[in-house]
Amino acid sequence: RLPYRLVDVDNHYYEPDDAFLRHLDPAMRSRAVHVEREPGARGRPFVGSRPAYYLEMTPIDRIGRPGAVVADKDARYQPLPDEDMVEPGKVPRLYDREARLAWMDEQDIEAVVLWPSLGLGMEWQLRDDPAACVASLRAFNDWADEAWGFAYRGRLFAVPTVTLVDLEEAVREVERVLARGARMVHV
């Protein structure tokens, strides 16, 4: 036990399949980030009709456990063995804010800054469609605030993502998320 509680600024959450769609204008759905999955199978992220090029499955289905990637630069690019993998969708603290708060209390963590998992790479794939990029990230930010909170109980700080593909829209989005309690933005 430490004589103080920690603040962790590199926490992540794991997005459900509809994180980009739940708050998206239906007119944008055919161009948006979405997950396709067969029943009982792992999901595959898509942008419009194209599969995401950097992820073959959604992070909520399977990801390396913390610390699993070794320092050896060649080993980082090899598939991790099963014992080094976690299925975040089966670990409530990785997708549920109340479970995360309970876990934080057990670990003596005062607050966490929460970053996306799937959401971190989507802006790049949407860069050639500025309208879809802006709409998708705005909808994603709405989901992040709803699911985690930009400043939930002064302990969970989900970081909204703002794209610069349209500077006027970027300014509007920064103003919008700050008005909703965001303490920082990811650009």
Q: Give this prediction's pTM.
A: 0.90
Say if residues 36 and 48 touch (Cβ distance below 8 Å).
Answer: no
Residue 178, pLDDT > 70, answer yes
Whether the per-residue pLDDT at 77 is higher than 70: the answer is: no
The listed range with the strongest mean pLDDT (2-6, 50-54, 112-116) is 112-116
Q: Is the pLDDT of residue 71 over 60?
A: no
pLDDT tens digits for range 139-169: 999 999 999 999 999 999 999 999 999 999 9
- Give the span between the Cα atoms of 78 and 41, in whole angstroms: 22
Say which range, 118-122, 156-160, 172-176, has the weakest mean pLDDT: 118-122
